A and B are shown apart, each in its own frame.
Chain A
Amino acid sequence: MKFTKTLLATTALTVAAGAALAQDMTIVSWGGAYSKSQLKAYHEPYSAKTGVNIINDDSSAEAVAKLRAMNEAGNITWDVVDVVASDAIRLCDEGLALEIDPATQLAPAPDGTSAADDFGDLLVSSCFIPQIVYSTTFGYRTDLVGDTPPSDVCAVFDLETYPGKRSLEKRPINNMEWALLCDGVAKSDVYDVLATDEGQNQALAKLDTIKDSVVWWSAGADTPQLLADGEVIMGSTYNGRLFSVIEEQKQPVAMLWDAQVFDLDGWIIPAGLSEERKQRALDYIYFATDTQRLADQAKYISYGPARASSAPLVGKHADLGIEMAPHMPTDPNNAKNTFLYNYEFWADYRDDIDAKFQAWLAQ
């Protein structure tokens, strides 16, 4: 009897507590230092302003699959999701993400420029609200590359001058472009060449020359670990990870910005939320993607804000106190030679080239 009473009381309390906790919002992101930068720049000020309690879920890596499953099960537990642009395009095409009108649902710049103009070309999908520009680029061990540090991405393919292992991502994207570029194809022709069978074979043949010296990575944390171990002498990864290795962990590593590939990361709101949750998510997005908030994020991580109007506001790192602007992939000194991830090309050719690449890897 007594036990039953206690149980009833507990249940009643839990239900009552549920009513008080109705202002929960689940935001999905990548985890690690990146989630921390969002926590400091967006979540904490937003919670302070509105009283909404934000729960972090570090599931962005499987966002597409999970959103599909949630949609099928009719139980969407996420309110705002951080994804890369290509995932956003897929989710938008499948109707799993909410379409956003930049004119009314996003904040204008402080000088009155509309959000659509402020983001400009970076609005690659009607569901996608860009947040940062990051790049995939190379870092190298300063103590293992000899007297002439590499300044050119083709150093990756130069085993004579720079003998040793290098780490590359285990997928064709970026690697194929770099291979062609270093095989004498002009930058403007890279995607035309890569669209042909001969071009793809040419890229794979170039990669073949270093295949025995490559360590393949699949998580962004792999290359920093390999560089810190001295297991590879150079490797590709996201520029923010390299910033952390160099400036925060003080490892003997330097950036090779040449031929860095820009990509975008930003928010989507899942389709099918209740009206109340949808309004809250939209309110959060309006707040978190305004000019000042995007500039604030750069205090915690070295990714470039997606708004043109945020760039002049980028200040110093919150803990280290160093100027962040020179560490941004978009800084003019770093962005002398860049690629922008070609969404259309990879949307059309990805499956094909992926199959070829995996077959080549297995040889």
Chain B
Amino acid sequence: MSLVTPISRKPLSFVIPTVGGLGALIGLFIGTSFGSGLVGVVGGAVALMLLALIYITVLRNEKMARWINRLGMAALGFLYGGASGLVLGLFAGQITIWFIYWLYEGRYRQSLLPYLTSGQVLWHYTFRVICGAIFIFLITPILVVMPLSFNAQDFFTFTPEMLRLDPDGYSLKHYMDFLGLREDSNGEWLRSFSNSLLIAPIATILSVTLGTLAAIGLSQSHVPAKRAIMAILISPMIVPLIISATGMFFFYSSMGNWMEDTLGLNKNFVGYVKVVLAHAVLGIPFVIITVTATLVGFDRSLTRAAANMGADPVTTFFRVQMPLILPGVISGGLFAFITSFDEVVVVMFIGSASQKTLPWQMFLGLREQISPTILAVATILVALSIALLVTLEMLRRRSERLRGMSPS
């Protein structure tokens, strides 16, 4: 039930300048894209103030004003920018007319407590605008990539055809390149993708196993020097990656030499072992942190009860403790997986060309040819990451629900 505060019309001396501010903001964007921001700011402010004045004092009919504004701006947008201009114009028209009447009729106070001062009302909305700006700031770079990945050209450019929403400006060819279905694609993308899909799960299994064991060990009360051990175990997360990578390069080179020369293992196989181990090391801190956090809410009397009924520690772990901390283990595993899947520095040091992973291939593609295939891959990866994060969030909720029901 939303609050309904009685509202009243506001004086023009307040409405018109505020509307001018919005006009200046919109004008800034339009003006900049046409070459002069300053002209845009002044022009936008003046134009919107005049419009507001006409709608309020001359037209005096809100419904009509709404339609005139929407259609007028849409037509203007279409004149300058074709189909996409039409959409933008419609959008701008809707926003501006809504804003004008929202202010003029005083609707902005409608859902707020009646006794708020104007300062408090201003802050209420400023706060929301700031939050929205942060959200836009975070998400825009990711969104920009997506339409570009359907570019029909081989450059990172919004072509005129794309801006006109012309179907010829779009194509799936970069996705085809990624899948190796184009004549001139060399299968490198798929090969590196399958390398990533091979390395990341094995590294994840290793870090989940080791990290969970470490977290359980560190949560026992009798372990000495707990803090020091914890600090060492999570250090790969804190030490700059490039430093770890340099150290790992020399460490794993000698280890690789030994495995090849003394054990007589295949060079390629040793290469994969090195990369998997290195990625497991990077993933362990995430598992330790999430599992330790889950263990805080774990009721120790359950293990004692299990022991009391004759279960040995291993059975207790798998049948009692593990099911309860599973959400923490899985979310740690997801972080470890993404760490390995996104990692480019360490693999470039340690891996050789046969272990090329997807991020490595993207790095090369960006440096050597700036091909939009990278954008196609990025779009696929974003979709994948969203799926993973959604899973994570669902697990977290499940864990909270379980903890709420547990008798502690």
Residues on A lying within 8 angstroms of B by beta carbon are 14-15, 17-19, 21, 24, 26, 28, 30-33, 36, 39, 55-59, 61, 69-70, 72-75, 77, 219-222, 224-225, 228-229, 249
Contact = CB atoms under 8 A, between A and B. Distances in A.
B255 to A, nearest CB: 10
A58 B364 contact: yes
Interface in B260-295: 264-269
B250 A221 contact: no
A77 B269 CA distance: 14
B257 A74 contact: yes
Contacts of B256: 75
A55 B354 contact: yes
A248 to B, nearest CB: 8
B368 A221 contact: yes
B369 A221 contact: yes
Contacts of B366: 221
B249 A69 contact: yes
Interface string B338-377: 0000000000000011101000000011111110000000
10 contacts: A15-B265, A26-B353, A28-B353, A72-B250, A73-B249, A73-B253, A224-B370, A225-B155, A229-B156, A249-B153
A272 B364 CA distance: 27
A64 to B, nearest CB: 15
B352 A77 contact: yes
Interface of B: 153-157, 184, 186, 188, 249-250, 253-254, 256-257, 264-269, 352-354, 356, 364-370
A121 to B, nearest CB: 29
Contacts of B155: 224-225, 228-229, 249
A249 B154 contact: yes
A18 B265 contact: yes
A221 B367 contact: yes
Given A18-B265, A73-B249, A32 B157 contact: no
Most buried by B among A14, A74, A75: A75
Nearest to A78: B352
Contact of A55 (B156, B353, B365): B353
Given A74-B257, A75-B256, A249-B154, A57 B352 contact: yes
Contact of A228 (B157, B268, B356): B157
Contacts of B364: 31, 58
Contacts of B365: 31
B265 A30 contact: no
A219 B368 contact: yes
| Secondary structure dominating the interface of B | helix
Nearest to B257: A75
B249 A61 contact: no
Given A61-B367, A75-B257, 6 more contacts: A18-B267, A32-B369, A58-B368, A75-B256, A224-B155, A225-B156
A31 B266 contact: no
A14 B269 contact: yes
Contact of B268 (A21, A58, A249): A21
Contacts of B188: 56
B207 to A, nearest CB: 19
A74 B254 CA distance: 8
Nearest to B356: A57
Contacts of A18: 265-269
Given A14-B266, A249-B153, A74 B253 contact: yes
Contact of A32 (B253, B257, B368): B368
Contacts of A74: 253-254, 257
Contacts of A17: 266
Contacts of A15: 264-266, 269
Nearest to A31: B368
Nearest to B265: A15
Contact of B153 (A75, A77, A228): A228
Contact of B352 (A26, A220, A224, A228): A26
Nearest to A229: B157
A219 B367 contact: yes
B360 to A, nearest CB: 9
A119 B364 CA distance: 31
A32 B364 CA distance: 9
Contacts of A229: 155-157
Nearest to B155: A228
Contacts of B266: 14-15, 17-19, 21
Contacts of B268: 18, 21, 24
